[in-house]
Amino acid sequence: MLPHCARQVTQCRPLANVGRRLENSRTSTFFLARRYLKVQKKLALTPQGKPKRQRRFNDTTFTVFTKQADDSFQLEKFDPELPLGSEEMQLLGGAPLPKIGLGDWVEAHRSGNRFAGIVVSQRPIRGGLQMIGFISQAGGTVEIASDNIPFSIPNFLQFNDIREILQSAYAYDRDGSQLTEPPEADFRRVTKLFEDRIRYLEASHLARFGQLYDHFSSQQAEKGTTTVLLDDMAKFAFQVHHPTIAQMYATHMYATKNNIQFTATSNVRGSRNFILRPNKDVEVLEWIIDAIRFHRSSYTSFLERAREYVSYSTRERDDTTGIVRPSEEYNRLPQFTEDDKKYVDFIAEWVMAQKFALNTPHEVFVPTLLKALKCYDDIFIELDVAARFLRDVGMWQPWDNMTLLQQVSTSVEHCWSQTAKENESIMKAAEGAFKPHSKSILIKSHQHLAPHEFYPGDICDGIRHDFGQVPVYTIDDPSAKEIDDGVSVEDHGDHTWIHVHVADPSAYIHPGHQLANVMAARVQTLYLPERHFPLLPESLSSQKFSLLSPENNSSTGAYTMSFSAKVDPSGNIVDVKIRPGMVHNICKLSYDQVDAILNDTKVNPSISSKSKTELSTLARVAQTHLKNRIADGYTSFQRSESSIQLDPYPLTLPKTHYDQPNFIQSIPNITITKRDQEQSVSRSMVAECMIMAGRVTSAISTERGIPMVYRMQEPPNIELLSTSEQTLVKSILSSRNLVDGSIPLSEAFQLLPFISPGSATTQPGRPHWMMGLTNGYTKVTSPLRRYLDIVAHWQLKAALLNEPMPFSEQVLTTMGARYDMREKQLSRQSAMATDWWIAETLRREKVNGNLANRVWACIINSESENINGHIFPASGFLPSLGLTGKIEGADNQVFRVGESYQVLVKEIDSMSPRFTIEIVH
């Protein structure tokens, strides 16, 4: 049974004139109705009983949880420093993802200029964007990418009053690619009338608009937030409960013009969220702009002092390392004043800001300031010049990771911010407050616990299963500290029980604990080459909750949530169990050690013959399970992975605010470790066991109606593809390696455009195509590193104890959508940070003269594209680096995705892990 589709309906009413008529139009959304799929096959379950569902949660925009009177938890507060992506905002609202269609109204911004008009063409382009063509008041068709469009009105041409102006019906398909012979003169007339009306609305309400900032800044200060919704601003400005489209648009135009007090989020078209600058920041901006415009003494004196620093750094910089060497002259340099630091921070803000179509004051005044220095010869002042200045004055080091600085808002819960400091303070307090369980205390729920209190006893004491001296194998990298899973096996000949034992922090942390709120805010551990920011305090995750905690000896044991799958000889899961567990006999092994044991290499002679047999059984069962997944579509790409080790570690992160010049005299050493493209048997074995745990959870949650966040991915929709595309997809998938399900990268890049992204859902039984799972999957094996995993543990325990669910299905729907997006954001930030250091090795090789003649294998991963007359060159992926370069000097050559070439690495971007490559002929 399929879920109901979300539908968006636009209602149109007869109006007196174009602007006023549009003021009375409304849009409404029918939210997605979700129903559980019927389970076709009964599964054998150990726990019995069905939990009650709570559906008492209405708010869908918050991320921190508070306990309700019914002992369940509600989303409480959204952190405005982590703006939702447009996709995320739409998911949380239950509406379809925003897409611009034919006949829509759009406002676009490019290079400081504003354009607006009626959409007459649209086509998909790289990066999941659209290229939008529209007729503006000036005439002709303007083409611009959709990420430069902060405001749109869907179905603009369908309004009755617009049809009246056009004087004749104009039939078209909104989802089409181009309007046929659009009436340009009529479109220009409609555009002028509408624009004039919006400008009138804005001008006639300037007094109310002028009060917007003061009203909402004081209101938001009380709430502890810094964002305001466009709808709420329009309600205030026009003093109405239900603002019209025209009123919303007029409010949008005012807010985007007033970029000193307001700044749009990068997803404003989808979220309609604006950020209110704090009062002190507004005052500083106004002070800086005034000083630059009128050449105040604070500005001119700053320029003089800054010139001395730039001159000194230029003379003393080592050409190889970028280090600025100390000299006697350094002690004679002038000291920067507090006002000087404001100018430096102003420049840094420009570099660190998320780039979007709407300009901020920085786009105008930072280049003006840097040109006034007269220290840089660049004709155009771009971000790289600003970054060079910040290195010259000792704010940033030559190796500082620019990808981190340009994604500061992504990691606001982990580092740099006041929020991160508060999180650290809570984590520190939790470390001091932690106490082991007392056997004399019986507790059944968290009902009477304060936010700072841990469970004093084990709420699962009466149902926790003791696995005794069964060997539990924890298999990980030697450097791993958070050992949160292990596996054991029972071979019964005609079937095998695989038990996945997962660390159980929920034995101590209840859903309303302050630490749980920090986990909810952080979402997951953030791993960066410079340092990592854990989800939980390290003293708890590695010393208390880890399966290898020094406090867990053979007598006391370690708490687990144990997920058990009964697997038949064909690799089918025929029975499942979930139990809170206790394990005592932990055997720590590395991946390499297990590979050696399975390959009969004598690396660890202390391993018993029983353990060798059990590991072989695990490997055999895992392989049969994998074989079934391959038969159901499992697909992987033959791509190696890189990891970065820096010395010193941890490495100080780049500064986000200027205090004083700092020229560090030693560069960090970089070591790159690559994992072979062919996955080891041990890694494959562990991966299959973890997937079994996710399937076990999905099966039991589905059968018992436990609200749960599942992971899903739809297969490519063959019916939407052309005949040639269908042939290509089928050909690639049929050529998968039947042993491991992999396809070569050359074919993977051809397949990627047809693959849907994975997502979160509360609907059970949904498939995950690339994993080859047809009936549901959820993640439960990393509660020390991923918040949604401990949420799953809380839900399961409530079911086992026949208690109310901590989180309703409605809350989990919101939570899953948001956290899925945040997990992707944080994982992307981690990957880009790694890419930066790989590119940094190339920069060093280039300076040392070791790069010029080095030849690299390359696979074309995107073809050249003509966008609005601008040619975007083809790009190629270098497997040995794991990075992509843009092809230069081959304008007349046609490249096809999947083709292989030999290339040279040429110019390396100083602001990102990007570079250009040249084909070797």
Looking at residue 377, its pLDDT comes to 86
Question: Ranked by mean pLDDT, which of 56-60, 125-129, 252-256, 541-545 comes out on top?
Answer: 252-256
Please choose, from the candidates 91, 128, 116, the residue with its C-alpha nearest in 3D space to the C-alpha of residue 271.
91
Query: pLDDT tens for residues 69-79?
Result: 444 544 433 33
Q: What's the token pair of residue 266?
A: 């990068």
Judge contact between 246 and 198, C-beta under 8 A. Answer: yes
How many other CB atoms are there within 10 angstroms of residue 254's CB atom? 22
Judge contact between 176 and 160, C-beta under 8 A. Answer: no
Instruction: Go through 640-649 and write b for each residue having 16 or more CB atoms within 10 A of its CB, e for each that does not.
Output: eebebebeee
Report the chain's mean pLDDT, rounded to a whole number. Answer: 86
Annotation: CATH topology of 852-919: OB fold (Dihydrolipoamide Acetyltransferase, E2P) (2.40.50)
Of the pLDDT bands very low, low, confident and very high (cuts 50, 70, 90), residue 267 is: confident
Judge contact between 698 and 764, C-beta under 8 A. Answer: yes
User: Strand runs (DSSP E) across 72-215, as ranges?
Assistant: 73-75, 105-110, 113-125, 129-136, 141-145, 151-153
Helix (H) or strand (E) holding 835: helix 809-847
Judge contact between 593 and 604, C-beta under 8 A. Answer: yes
Instruction: Go through 131-169 and write b for each residue having 16 or more CB atoms within 10 A of its CB, e for each that does not.
Output: bbbbbbbeeeebbbbbbbbbbbbbbbbbbebbeebeeee
| CB contact set of 801 (below 8 Å; sequence gap of 6+) | 444, 445, 459, 460, 463
Q: What's the token pair of residue 791?
A: 């949420």
pTM of this structure: 0.85
CA atoms within 13 A on the CB side of 69: 1
What is the DSSP track for 573-629? EEEEEEEEEEE-EEEEEEHHHHHHHHTT--S-TTS-HHHHHHHHHHHHHHHHHHHHH
Looking at residue 852, its pLDDT comes to 92
Looking at residue 551, its pLDDT comes to 74
Alpha-carbon span 342 to 287, nearest angstrom: 10
CA atoms within 13 A on the CB side of 450: 4
Phi and psi (nearest 5°) for 638? -80, 80
Query: pLDDT tens for residues 680-720?
Result: 899 999 999 999 999 999 999 999 999 999 999 999 888 87
Phi and psi (nearest 5°) for 292? -70, -45
Please, what sign has the CA dihedral across residues 379, 384, 386, 391?
Answer: negative
- Average pLDDT for 355-376: 91
Give the residue range(s) of CATH 2.40.50.140 domains in the chain. Answer: 852-919
Query: pLDDT tens for residues 563-603?
Result: 999 999 999 999 999 999 999 999 999 999 999 999 886 65
**Residue 625 in this model has a pLDDT that exceeds 50:** yes
- Average pLDDT for 807-811: 96
| CB contact set of 561 (below 8 Å; sequence gap of 6+) | 501, 502, 504, 506, 578, 579, 580, 581, 780, 783, 793, 796, 797
Judge contact between 386 and 351, C-beta under 8 A. Answer: yes
CA atoms within 13 A on the CB side of 363: 15
Instruction: Tell me if residue 8 falls in helix, strand or coil.
Output: strand
Of the pLDDT bands very low, low, confident and very high (cuts 50, 70, 90), residue 218 is: confident
Judge contact between 496 and 462, C-beta under 8 A. Answer: no
Q: Spell out the alpha helix ranges (H) of 117-205.
A: 160-166, 184-204
Alpha-carbon span 361 to 344, nearest angstrom: 15
Q: Spell out the alpha helix ranges (H) of 443-536.
A: 514-522
Helix (H) or strand (E) holding 795: helix 787-800
Judge contact between 371 and 380, C-beta under 8 A. Answer: no
Please choose, from the candidates 753, 770, 747, 734, the residue with its C-alpha nearest in 3D space to the C-alpha of residue 638.
747
Q: Are strands 485-491 and 636-637 parallel, antiparallel or unpaired?
A: unpaired
